Amino acid sequence: MRVLLSTWGSRGDVEPVAGLAARLRELGAETRVCAPPDEDFKALMDRAGVPLIPLGPSVRSVVARPKPPSEKAAFSLAPELVAARFETLSTAAEGCDVLLTTGLMPAGARDVAEKMGIHYVLACFHTLGLPSRHFPPGKRPGAPSPEGETDNRVLWKHDAERVNALYGEALNSHRAKIGLPPVDNVRDYVLTERPWLAADATLCPAAGRTDLDVVQTGAWILPDDRPLPADLEAFLDAGEPPVYVGFGSMAAYAPKGIARVAIEASRAHGRRVVLARGWADLAPVDDLADCFAVGEVNQQALFPRVAAVVHHGGAGTTGTAARAGAPQVVVPQIADQPSWAARVAELGIGAAHEGREPTVESLSAALALALAPETRERAGAVAAASRTDGTTMAANLLHDMVS
């Protein structure tokens, strides 16, 4: 079996693909991965034992700017990614049996699979972008729906129109060049009627959240056996479990002054801090010994040893903390992050901070809830119920599909 995996997005869109690639490789499948050419993502593919075929611009070049990308930038990026997929995937998919794609609206991937006559799968890591009678769509660049509109069916129709405005012209232009007819509804064509949901069923249940026939595989986890740095081990051993603070790929979106706020809020509870620099380049605010800054680190090994995880609410960090049984404080910024924050609060495994800009007082209050013994107990119960075989289920489904 020959499988091509494709993604474009932040680490939360890339690491699960690396996890699936590693499992497919273990099972003997020839696997190729097209992903953004960021150094962080090349390192993930190295761990998976699969070379990275560069797709589109680096993500860091798009998001690591003083201000978040504008709507104008989104309308420039969309056709660029469409063109990159047609060009890159057409070559990478040669000899493959199936093309599985995920990440930021992967318009162009199904078209290549259609032209080459191979199987196509769309996978997602949350239900935010899947049409639903029960929930409105998330925000997307383009013309907003009329103020006061509450009918979810109408709102999702407007969402499809926004996707067409972003991707439609470029997609149909490239389709015409390879002899394919135009697509009227880009979003629904990309999603298919039976997308895969690579998320834990406890954290992100599919039932009642979309009108599509979703196949839930469970989360795709890239195993990590890297040891923690010796100086971090020494810090952890020197006192009570610290609070971990990290905002991942949120370079332009990280709350202003979040390092100072999080450190002071943790100290208010008598807690030390492990501060993850991340793309926002967070740094300690003083030289006190109760704060330790880290770069890239094995979260699977670190999170079971912390008192709580304060983060932005990305799918990857939320899932890793949940599997570790670590209470969470989610300070959501964009996209699917508010939904993960709400789910953490709903499950009782942490707190959802209200608002994107926490103060020492508001974050301290959220930490008080996360550090409560009952939250730790509930987090442990959810961790025990979490499944870790999502990549095996996905690999088996791909094998059955090709067979």
- Average pLDDT score over residue span 133-161: 95
- Average pLDDT score over residue span 42-61: 96
CA distance 123 to 109: 12
Residue 64 has pLDDT above 80, yes or no: no
pTM (2 d.p.): 0.96
Strands 98-101, 52-54: pairing is: unpaired
CA distance 171 to 108: 6
Higher pLDDT, 250 or 218: 218
Residue 342 has pLDDT above 80, yes or no: yes
The pLDDT value recorded for residue 399 is: 97
Instruction: Give me the amino acid identity at 217.
Output: T
State what percent of residues in the chain have pLDDT above 70.
99
- Interacting residues of 105 by C-beta distance below 8 A, sequence separation 6+: 78, 129, 163, 166, 167, 186, 187, 190
Q: Where are the alpha helices (DSSP H) in 164-298?
A: 169-177, 186-191, 230-237, 258-268
Give the CB-side neighbour count of residue 285, counting CA atoms within 13 A.
Answer: 11
Structure tokens at 371: 């550090």
The confidence band for 400, taking pLDDT boundaries of 50, 70 and 90, is very high
- Sequence spans of domains, the chain: 2-221+388-402, 230-385
The pLDDT value recorded for residue 121 is: 98
From edge to edge, which strands make up the β-sheet containing 52-54?
Answer: 52-54, 30-35, 2-6, 98-101, 119-124, 196-197, 215-216
The full length of the chain comes to 403
* Architecture category of domain 2-221+388-402 in CATH: 3-Layer(aba) Sandwich (3.40)
The fourth-level CATH superfamily of domain 230-385 is: Glycogen Phosphorylase B; (3.40.50.2000)
Note the pLDDT tens digit of each residue in 77-133.
999 999 999 999 999 999 999 999 999 999 999 999 999 999 999 999 999 999 999
- Interacting residues of 377 by C-beta distance below 8 A, sequence separation 6+: none
- Average pLDDT score over residue span 341-359: 97
- Interacting residues of 173 by C-beta distance below 8 A, sequence separation 6+: none
The pLDDT value recorded for residue 236 is: 98
Note the pLDDT tens digit of each residue in 227-267.
999 999 999 999 999 999 999 887 767 888 999 999 999 99
Structure tokens at 211: 């009108």
The confidence band for 144, taking pLDDT boundaries of 50, 70 and 90, is very high
Using the 8-state DSSP alphabet, how is residue 305 labeled?
G
Which helix (H) or strand (E) element contains residue 399?
helix 390-402
